[in-house]
Amino acid sequence: MTVLRLALLQSAGVLGDVAANLAELDAQAGEAADAGAGLLVTPEMFLTGYELGAQRTAAMADRAASELVPAVAAVARRHRIALLVGLPERLDGRVVNTAVLVGADGEVLGRHVKTHLFGQDERDAFVPGDRPVSVFDLAGVRVAVLICYDVEFPEAVRAAAAAGAHVVAVPTALMEPFSFTADVVIRARAWENQVYVAYANHCGREVDLAFVGLSSIVAPSGRVLAAAPPGDVTSSALLLADVDTAVVEAAQRENPYLADRRLDLHPGPATT
């Protein structure tokens, strides 16, 4: 049995102001570390803001390798906590929407590139990734990473579970009128795969988008372990819950969706 205390940040951030967002990341990382958390998950594109437009997004992506990721690594080292932070990057000449996982020692452990781009604005700004899910070992816990729209495709979460994930961490930027995704879909994804799901959303407004908040950490049973106040979509919130690998293993024995799949009828990733 391995237990990882997970922290999840819901925040409005400041659109286009990296310094302000780094300051919030630093403060929240310190609070999470003091609460015993080993990993802090931020919203999608948290470091830069989400609704930048293609030109500003590309400019921010050009700063990622030399400035943005090293700044995140410094925060992780300072507070001795792993960070999963959303930002744009330029990889192999392409601008992509990523969540970068940095270890408590400041080393980059990996990244997930968003595979399912939502709407024309994202398609104008980004090239989609080609890896269905990214899974990392963190202190004995298998952490899968998806970004926002990715989690709304059941195949992606099933691939994470089949790869042995204990928790699916989802930096997201869910806006009106899609609050039912946070209310219903996230709990369903946890239940149908018997994994934890940590859904870190923006709150507040950017340009003409109104984010719905409703961030949560959900257990393999579908029970909500921690959630941002549903009536407050303007204030930051730091959520905490424990991810217990023994709970995942017991849930998958008791509710054996993964084992009982008919792969001969519905081809998909085999359970590892």
Active site (annotated) includes residue 203: no
Taking only Cα atoms into account, the Rg of the chain, rounded to an integer number of angstroms, comes to: 17
68 neighbors 81 (Cβ within 8 angstroms): no
- The one catalytic residue in 24, 44, 152, 206 is 44
Active site (annotated) includes residue 148: yes
1 closest CA partner among 192, 140, 99: 140
Helix/strand/coil (H, E, C) string of the chain? CCEEEEEEEEECCCCCCHHHHHHHHHHHHHHHHHCCCCEEECCCCCCCCCCCCHHHHHHHHHHHHHHHHHHHHHHHHHHCCEEEEEEEEEECCEEEEEEEEECCCCCEEEEEECCCCCHHHHHHHCCCCCCCCEEEEECCEEEEECCHHHHHCHHHHHHHHHCCCCEEEEECCCECCCHHHHHHHHHHHHHHHCCEEEEECECCEECCEEECCCCEEECCCCCEEEECCCCCCCCCEEEEEEEEHHHHHHHHHHCCHHHHCCCCCCCCCCCC
Dig out the tokens for 154 from the structure.
Answer: 């059941």
- The one catalytic residue in 24, 51, 89, 114 is 114
- The one catalytic residue in 51, 148, 152, 203 is 148
Active site (annotated) includes residue 44: yes
Taking residue 64's Cβ as centre, other Cβ atoms within 10 Å add up to 23
Catalytically active residues, by annotation = 44, 114, 148
